[in-house]
Structure 1
Amino acid sequence: MQTLPYSALTNEHIGHVYELYYAAFERFRKVPEIHTLVDNDKFCSVLNHTLKEHLSVIPKLAMGVLEIQDQIGPDQCDRLMTTLLRSRISRRVIAEQHLALNETFNSPWHFPNAPKPKRDGTASATTAAEDDFIGEIFLKCNAKDLVEKCAATATSLVTKAYGSDVAVPKIILQGHLDTTFPYIPSHIEYIIGELLRNSIQAVVEQKGTTEPPPIEVLICEAQQHVIIRISDQGGGIDRDILPHLWSFAKGPRRHKRLRNLATVPRLKATMQELEVSKSQTQSHASSMPSSANEISKNYASSLSSLSSRPPELRLGMGLPMSKIYAEYWAGSLELHSLEGYGCDAFLQISRLGNKNEVLSTRASMDAV
């Protein structure tokens, strides 16, 4: 960020993000070397505080990028946004993984010969919760369950926004429905949730109260990766928007996106993107194994809050953010549009450990 022109860095939103990272750097560099569990607990407190403090980064960064285009141009804005988001993912994954492993270590079932909790919360001497999780990484993410959960959330939000009289398309699942793979649940749920939300909204807005065509989800499993194809008949993407589909800064709806983003930090009178309601949080937690509940309750996730935003709040960054998350974990996201008919989205998920993840190096940051 220090390589930006001074006029860009004086933007209030970019300046806010800069100050957050500067304060985080100052906070971390003063943490003494860790020698004991007490030292580690103090460090975890610093991590937890910083994670919560940085929940405002994404909307502030997006607003700043839209506002400073006159100083540095949309192409450089996109490179800046992509590099910063990859860097942000790296840091949050490391921090959340440390907190999750620390929570696992302090759990009663972590110690030898302790009864292990099942998914239903009851104790069992043979079923270990840590068998399914390594920190934040869930080893048995089920593709069918993920799609159904994200579809239910998106359907509920669309019904609430457009009214109960609007016909919501059905989700038809096909292919290898018993496919499982290791992944961080919040990341994959965000990507699939954004794709399904876009498809459901497109179909609903085109068909209205008439019987809508279903959205087809095909799950394909191979040795090295899993592919999820989401096909809708929502009319496709407008020709003027299609070239800027993966851009944070370009496109004809810049000012509308800026207005929507400006409302986000104030929706719940907090600096978070969106604050998940208590009922949503409980619903999300109840669908996860008990060990994940213990881990996730200690710090907030900006992805879960973004996923629960109202459908009418179009931020213009769901697809480019989803692409960054997919590519970060050595996967890919492509979208093919037939204007006047519909869209096919292809999400490729690499099985973790088979490829090098797309990390941000210092050289790539300096190249911005």
Structure 2
Amino acid sequence: MQRQRRTPPWRPSVILDEWVQRESRPISLRQLTFFGRTLTESRLLSSANYVRLELPTRLAHRLRNMQTLPYAALTNEHIAHVYELYYRAFELFRKVPAIHNMDDNDRLCEVLRTALTDHLTVIPRLAMGILEIQDSVSGDECDRFMTTLLRSRISRRVIAEQHLALTETFHSPWHFDGKKSSVAPEDEFVGEIFLKCNAREIVEKCAKRARELTAKAYGPKVTIPKIILQGHLDTTFPYIPSHLEYILGELLRNSIQAVVEQTGSSNPPPIEVLICEAAQQVIFRISDQGGGIDREILPYLWSFAKGPRRNKRLKNLGQVPRLAATMEELQLPPSVPDQTENEQSGERFGSSLASLSSRPPDLRLGIGLPMSRIYAEYWAGSLELHSLEGYGCDAFLQVSRLGNKNEVLSTRAAMDGV
């Protein structure tokens, strides 16, 4: 039964209308890199003013999207929770005055950190909400709504976290105003962007984490399949590591669990990861012999809202918001990277991805693949999966090698939905 809450508070729409009329200004990894590589005070202040205008603009469009939902959906406990979070953030950001100096910028950074922490529960609450509102909103519409909000959420976190990271760089002892040496030679980061993501190292890191989590879940009597890497193993490219690690982590977790559950033997077949470097893209192919995907689930593979096991998914999602609240609350095995390693991979300000990717293997949420596809497509990549029933799966992840593609933003909200 869908849980209800009190009537959402009334707010005037005039201010929101003004911000909805603004267009978002898309960015690319290459633009972010060039902008942050030669970091001066004037550039940092320019970034701050972009952030203080862009975040409320993108929030306004998503608030208008939520206002177009049927009233019964908007009063759902989880949807209402997200709506209130978004509106508070919108009010907070739109009232930030123009940034003229570093003190102004530092105050903005405090606002950004607060908002990033407050919004760590958005993903699981949205997922629960759309599973509960299906009496008033169709499954297809729920999927479009979820995709739009998650894509926008990624964009806002990229903008906020990139500016916070650039501010840290500017205040660091090795920074020289306006010099290219503002990129620390030991980490090759420009803000949140790692200029030399190594394909082999990222796969190995994700494989290690996925194998450890699976081993912990299934016990010492189960043999975890090996991961065999092939292809262009020294390929490097600019990317945000936490995005790539989430996608590859989900794919490897799925393959490892499928093989373990399919074979249950002491000699499971290995999982093969092939890395292919082309002129403009890098392709990862993950192949397993885990029996393929259940034909009951296959038609709904990329859906947040449709498919069987709805009650089980709701129950499991209910255990995630608390885990996503802070990094310190995560109850992870000792072998899972700690906060220091998260910082080295770009997760410097806390991430709900960390809690989702490190959840116990038996906590199946039904959102891993569709979320992974949204992350892949955000920087103009793609994610496809081919299943051979009774044999196994091949997953194909394609990412831009040059970082020159603009972020894929959702279309602006319609003005006629109030």
1:25-69, CA deviations, whole angstroms, 9 ceiling, x for partnerless residues?
111122121111011000000000000000000000000000001
SS at match of 1:129: coil
Q: Is residue 329–residue 352 contact of structure 1 (8 Å, CA) maintained in 2?
A: no
Q: CA RMSD in A?
A: 2.5
Q: Is residue 326–residue 350 contact of structure 2 (8 Å, CA) maintained in 1?
A: no
Q: Is residue 332–residue 358 contact of structure 2 (8 Å, CA) maintained in 1?
A: no
Once the two structures are superposed, the pairs formed by residues 318-337 of structure 1 within 5 Å of their partners are 318-337=368-387
Match of 2:362 in 1: 312
**TM-score when scaled to structure 1?**
0.89
SS at match of 2:67: coil
Aligned residues: 351
Match of 2:82 in 1: 17
Question: CA distance change for structure 1 residues 250 and 282 in 2, over 3 Å: closer, same or farther?
Answer: closer
- State the one-letter code of the partner of 1:333: L
In structure 2, runs of 5+ residues without a counterpart are 1-65
Given the alignment of the two structures, is residue 106 of structure 1 paired with residue 171 of structure 2, yes or no? yes
Q: Is residue 231–residue 342 contact of structure 1 (8 Å, CA) maintained in 2?
A: yes
Match of 1:28 in 2: 93
> In structure 2, what is the Cα distance between the partners aligned to 1:63 and 1:364?
25
Match of 1:285 among 340, 343, 346: 340
Match of 1:225 in 2: 281
Match of 1:216 among 272, 279, 285: 272
SS at match of 2:394: strand
> In structure 1, what is the Cα distance between the partners aligned to 2:376 and 2:86?
24
**TM-score when scaled to structure 2?**
0.79
Match of 1:83 in 2: 148
> In structure 2, what is the Cα distance between the partners aligned to 1:361 and 1:110?
38
Match of 1:275 in 2: 330
Match of 1:343 among 393, 398, 405: 393
CA deviation after TM superposition for structure 1 residue 131, in Å: 7.5
Question: CA distance change for structure 1 residues 273 and 231 in 2, over 3 Å: closer, same or farther?
Answer: farther
Question: CA distance change for structure 1 residues 364 and 195 in 2, over 3 Å: closer, same or farther?
Answer: farther
> In structure 1, what is the Cα distance between the partners aligned to 2:411 and 2:163?
21
Match of 2:262 in 1: 206
> In structure 2, what is the Cα distance between the partners aligned to 1:282 and 1:105?
27
Given the alignment of the two structures, is residue 55 of structure 1 paired with residue 120 of structure 2, yes or no? yes
Q: Is residue 154–residue 196 contact of structure 1 (8 Å, CA) maintained in 2?
A: yes
Match of 1:44 among 109, 118, 125: 109
SS at match of 2:284: strand
Match of 1:121 in 2: none
CA deviation after TM superposition for structure 1 residue 210, in Å: 2.9
SS at match of 2:319: helix
Match of 2:404 in 1: 354
Question: CA distance change for structure 1 residues 206 and 179 in 2, over 3 Å: closer, same or farther?
Answer: same
Percent identical residues: 72
- State the one-letter code of the partner of 1:235: G
In structure 1, runs of 5+ residues without a counterpart are 118-126
Match of 2:305 in 1: 249
> In structure 1, what is the Cα distance between the partners aligned to 2:306 and 2:207?
29
Deviates more, 1:25-34 or 1:190-199: 25-34
Given the alignment of the two structures, is residue 169 of structure 1 paired with residue 225 of structure 2, yes or no? yes
SS at match of 2:135: helix
1:91-130, CA deviations, whole angstroms, 9 ceiling, x for partnerless residues?
110000000101110100112699x89xxxxxxxxx9338
Question: CA distance change for structure 1 residues 87 and 74 in 2, over 3 Å: closer, same or farther?
Answer: same
Question: CA distance change for structure 1 residues 260 and 96 in 2, over 3 Å: closer, same or farther?
Answer: same
1:55-93, CA deviations, whole angstroms, 9 ceiling, x for partnerless residues?
000000000000001101100000000000011011110
> In structure 2, what is the Cα distance between the partners aligned to 1:85 and 1:103?
27
Q: Is residue 283–residue 396 contact of structure 2 (8 Å, CA) maintained in 1?
A: yes
